[in-house]
Structure 1
């Protein structure tokens, strides 16, 4: 990793989730050749780095996050040669490419796990985490402890071959690797990291980067949810005793040898702890994602326990993201959508009466914040959540399906089940991961131009109104607006990417106003005002100076300097 990492700091990163991005061969599943066919489109939009979500060989129990071979490609997505063509295609256009690094767990179909489970004395037995059952007072076999899986139920799976349980914090088919075993770590570094760097990959988004080190006591987790037996295991599995040692080792042995970027999906921890992962002096990772915005309104241990949010909460989450690096040598990220979260327009805008206008407002927010900017596929055209009218059968995500199944088992016989089910559906329709995973809407033809045959997941019903082709032809579309904003972000990069951030109207529940400025005091400030409500409100500048409008989501003919119309956004330079 070089000392001058500005290429990753200044960048706009575009995330491709392969299964739902673009299908080139008509089998209904997105693929790498499909992604290659859109590289000029991405370059034109203003993208600097392509982030490709897992494309590795996988039985796809968790959509590729269950890897059976780090050094091969899932046949649904293409071949190793296709992957090389994608890497080369990005480089040819002056773009970089990063991939997902999924090394907390493998698939149970990985050769390592097949060996590990074959016998108690297999040389790879200790490459995964095995424990004996415990037995209750009636003599019934139980998992080793009460840890909850991120996908509902126990975090342990029983294996009859050796009469032991293996730890899998996610699905049955995702056994956790044992990072305590040095031989296992070296095999991970060789096959999952070095192999791809040598092929030209420019870095990694590091999946579940806070989970590798488990507390070796494997004690029962404290009771957080009183209405269930299995409990969140964060106390024993997140940011464990050796986690920073492992990240430093990875940096020293592998990352430091290449000019690359690394961004960690660490999850929830206090700022001081989080900064240990990304302080430049500590040499672990370059930056990380903070989840305060995307998980706003949800319990951070369970997204479907949803309480809602107010604009003050939203401002606080943005403030936390922007203040994260204040006075440190760390770097930050900006994102509001990804493959694990619902569509921002449905979560934070008004996707009914003010769909395009509120999408433009959210785009203005994202492109004026400090840090490396990440955009998720379809965000640039304002793709929305799935329709509320769709039945549960249309949802495909293992997290949603397992949660609904557990809910039915628990409440299915309750007299008020229908009422409870409706409430859960409302929440699923707002925050489920499925909303990010419907096929990208390329045009108004059948299957939205994603494929020539029926896709693996149903296309959102609104693809005729929301698609790339129509927006590229329209100079007033969200796509065109995004392109302008990305150019503005680059033109004033010192101000928007690196500038300090200060909220001016924290208690205002309709309007969000903030200032970006440089510490030297010699440059103009940026004054950003966002009316995040359905009402018109009076516009009164909260600072003095000479205001010059450089971006607005309202046409000049409709513009009234003294009134902010519903969901109006403005960016001024102020001398």
Structure 2
């Protein structure tokens, strides 16, 4: 077993040396002068899933005070910045990714004062706080959506609405297209009060915002500025590929073609999402967010504010988010190759190819990043094997660029065994008892194991 680990580690070191020799040393420019790297380029980032990270008051739910109490742990393991999964006010249908108020803290997690104290304590320890930014949708309980239903300006077109197609049998119109949501079934939901369908590419209670409306674009930029004023160091942007869908032609949306990947017509993978994901306008939107962050630094000073982008798109599309020679994009379009390509059976050669896949596609002027796990994926130790977790963590830290670790992966936590009847994840619940294991995200969201007691010391944990 030791020889297996050593083989992989040595192979990676050799690959790193080869990459350095063939790509050019990233610390030296063409004139031989040392280049001073920005803080984020060599940082260790740590994702916290607040709901199950640390419960400070015994209610079974993690909170901001709990995070604050464990900042020293982050400092001790060399973390420079931590990004928090959503802490905004939410009915928690999708556990914070359904936001009812983008400007308020969810009461389960504490108060705005608690957040401000967290920022202050983190600053003392030299740890930057990064927030999750969820631009694609809100909760249906958000006041914006409630006013949009009633066609109250300027909210009438805040969301993607459509009257639907004529029903040849009479009665309610048919959905505008065959588009499918990520959690199974149609992406269109009829609203009786407005007498129209709204688009929701995730849960029914997560209506899609309309980014073809400039008022929405400015509203979401205001959200970014608000939290920058609170002292955050940047944002991890959720579900970026979904932000734009193709513009309607003659008022109609086109159907998407079958993908051939599955025969289950309710599953999102049944369709090729050529009209609902990775539209060119999405890249430009990321460029605008980066400009906002750069402008904020120019005006207010301080360190660079960073933009981290979640996208499971093809490598060609992911690389577009870095930017161009004239326009800056995200500093870190997330590199999910270790998630998408690796598993327990991966050999040293496979690991090498995973690393090369990023370097071979990344423009030379940019900084690589490495992500092995997160709250949406099975844990690293479960995917790669408990016997390889130390090796995988070493690889993560050895590779040049920024490293992103999901809380618990640093101690080798494995997936929780969650039965269907105990599932909380809407993706699992909608999949049903026969298929939920394929879609559930609950196993990676169990309580952080601060000790070895039942439920890691949490009384009645709520995922």
TM bracket (short chain): 0.7 to 0.9
Q: Which residue is 2:428 aligned to?
A: 400
Q: For each residue in 1:328-352, what CA deviation from the matched residue of structure 2 results, as whole angstroms up to 9, or x when unmatched? A: 2222211111011101111112xxx
Distance 2:46 2:128 in 1: 11
Q: Is the 8 A contact 2:315 2:361 kept in 1?
A: no
Q: Which residue is 2:134 aligned to?
A: 102
Q: Which residue is 2:440 aligned to?
A: 432
Q: Is the 8 A contact 2:258 2:272 kept in 1?
A: no
Q: Which residue is 1:296 aligned to?
A: 341
Q: Which residue is 2:295 aligned to?
A: 256
Distance 1:17 1:109 in 2: 23
Q: Which residue is 2:257 aligned to?
A: 222
Q: For each residue in 1:384-405, what CA deviation from the matched residue of structure 2 results, as whole angstroms up to 9, or x when unmatched? A: 0123xx5312222111211226
Distance 1:64 1:404, change over 3 A: same
Listed as ranges, the matches of 1:110-189 within 5 Å are 110-119=142-151, 122-139=153-170, 141-189=173-221
SS in 2 for 1:321: helix
- Residues 1:335 and 2:366 are matched in the alignment: no
Within the candidate set 58, 83, 91, 1:59 is matched to 91
Q: For each residue in 1:434-456, what CA deviation from the matched residue of structure 2 results, as whole angstroms up to 9, or x when unmatched? A: 1210011111234312x3x2111
Q: For each residue in 1:460-479, what CA deviation from the matched residue of structure 2 results, as whole angstroms up to 9, or x when unmatched? A: xxxxxxxxxxxxxxxxxxxx
Note the C-alpha offset of 1:310.
5.0
- Residues 1:266 and 2:341 are matched in the alignment: no
- Which of structures 1 and 2 has the bigger CA Rg? 1
Distance 1:402 1:370 in 2: 40
Distance 1:175 1:437, change over 3 A: same
Answer 1 or 2: which has greater strand percent. 1
Distance 1:363 1:270 in 2: 23
Distance 1:309 1:211, change over 3 A: farther
Q: For each residue in 1:235-260, what CA deviation from the matched residue of structure 2 results, as whole angstroms up to 9, or x when unmatched? A: 11222132233223333344432220
Note the C-alpha offset of 1:153.
0.7
Distance 2:372 2:460 in 1: 29
Q: Is the 8 A contact 1:149 1:232 kept in 2?
A: no
Distance 2:68 2:210 in 1: 36
SS in 1 for 2:240: coil
Within the candidate set 443, 446, 462, 1:456 is matched to 462
Q: Which residue is 1:234 aligned to?
A: 273
Q: For each residue in 1:140-178, what CA deviation from the matched residue of structure 2 results, as whole angstroms up to 9, or x when unmatched? A: 643111111011111111100011110111001111111
Note the C-alpha offset of 1:34.
0.2
Note the C-alpha offset of 1:275.
2.2
Q: For each residue in 1:530-561, what CA deviation from the matched residue of structure 2 results, as whole angstroms up to 9, or x when unmatched? A: xxxxxxxxxxxxxxxxxxxxxxxxxxxxxxxx
Q: For each residue in 1:306-357, what CA deviation from the matched residue of structure 2 results, as whole angstroms up to 9, or x when unmatched? A: xx965465543333134342x52222211111011101111112xxxxx3x4
Note the C-alpha offset of 1:359.
1.7
Q: Which residue is 2:21 aligned to?
A: none
Note the C-alpha offset of 1:280.
6.2
The gaps in structure 1 that reach 5 residues or longer are 299-307, 350-354, 406-420, 458-575
Listed as ranges, the matches of 1:459-538 within 5 Å are none
Distance 2:315 2:370 in 1: 18
Distance 1:91 1:280 in 2: 33
SS in 2 for 1:97: strand
Structure 2-normalised TM-score? 0.83
Q: Which residue is 1:7 aligned to?
A: 39
Distance 1:391 1:48 in 2: 36
Note the C-alpha offset of 1:137.
4.3
SS in 2 for 1:242: helix
Q: Is the 8 A contact 1:322 1:370 kept in 2?
A: no
Distance 2:461 2:423 in 1: 13
Does 1 or 2 have the higher relative contact order (CA < 8 Å, sep 6+)? 2
Note the C-alpha offset of 1:195.
0.4
Q: Is the 8 A contact 1:275 1:330 kept in 2?
A: no
Distance 1:126 1:5 in 2: 43
| Aligned structure 1 segments of 4 or more residues deviating by more than 4 angstroms | 312-315
Structure 1-normalised TM-score? 0.68
Q: CA RMSD, aligned part only?
A: 2.3
SS in 1 for 2:274: helix
Q: Which residue is 2:6 aligned to?
A: none
Q: Which residue is 1:372 aligned to?
A: 402
Note the C-alpha offset of 1:284.
2.1
Distance 1:152 1:315, change over 3 A: farther
Q: Which residue is 2:283 aligned to?
A: 244
The count of residues paired between Structure 1 and Structure 2 equals 412
Within the candidate set 61, 67, 84, 1:29 is matched to 61
Distance 2:289 2:410 in 1: 34
